[in-house]
Homo-oligomer: A and B are copies of this chain.
Amino acid sequence: MAITKAQLFNKRQIRAAEFAKAIAHPARIAILQILATSNACYCGDITEELPLAQSTVSQHLKALKSAGIIKGEIEGVRTCYCFDEENLAEFKTVMEAMIKEFSIPNPTCC
C-alpha cells in the first residue's frame, strides 16, 4: 500500500484486527476446527485433512501462532500445535467486547 497509518489507531483496535486477520481465511478456520475437534495436532496430520500443500499449512500455522491463537510445542522431530488458552481467552474477550459494542442500537440515526 502507499502509506501505512495503522499506528494511528489504538491498541485495542489493532489487536482486534490482528485476531480477525488470523481467522480471515477458511483454511485457518479449518485448521482451528481440526485442532479443536480432531486429535490431529501435527502439521503433517493437519495437512492430510486439508486440500493444501504441507508448506502452505505450515505457513497458516505460523500465522495463527503469530497472532497468538495457537502455540507450538516441539516434540522431537515434530511440533504439536494447540490452542494458546491464555491468548484464546483474550481473543474471546476482544471479540465479544466488539460484538457487544456493535450491538448498541444507535438511536440518533437510520
Binding site for B on A (CB under 8 A): 5-6, 8-10, 13-14, 16-17, 20-21, 23-30, 32-33, 35-37, 39, 41, 51-52, 69, 73, 80-83, 88, 91-92, 95-96, 98-99, 101-104, 106, 108-110
A selection of 15 A-B contacts at a CB cut-off of 8 Å is A5-B51, A9-B26, A17-B23, A17-B24, A20-B23, A32-B98, A32-B102, A36-B101, A37-B101, A69-B102, A88-B102, A91-B102, A92-B99, A95-B99, A96-B96
Q: Is the interface of A mostly helix, strand, loop or mixed?
A: helix
Say yes or no: B51 contacts A29, CB within 8 Å: no
Docked complex Cα distance between A15 and B28 (Å): 13
> Given that A73-B110, A103-B88 are contacting pairs, would A26 and B6 also be in contact in the complex, using a CB cutoff of 8 Å?
yes
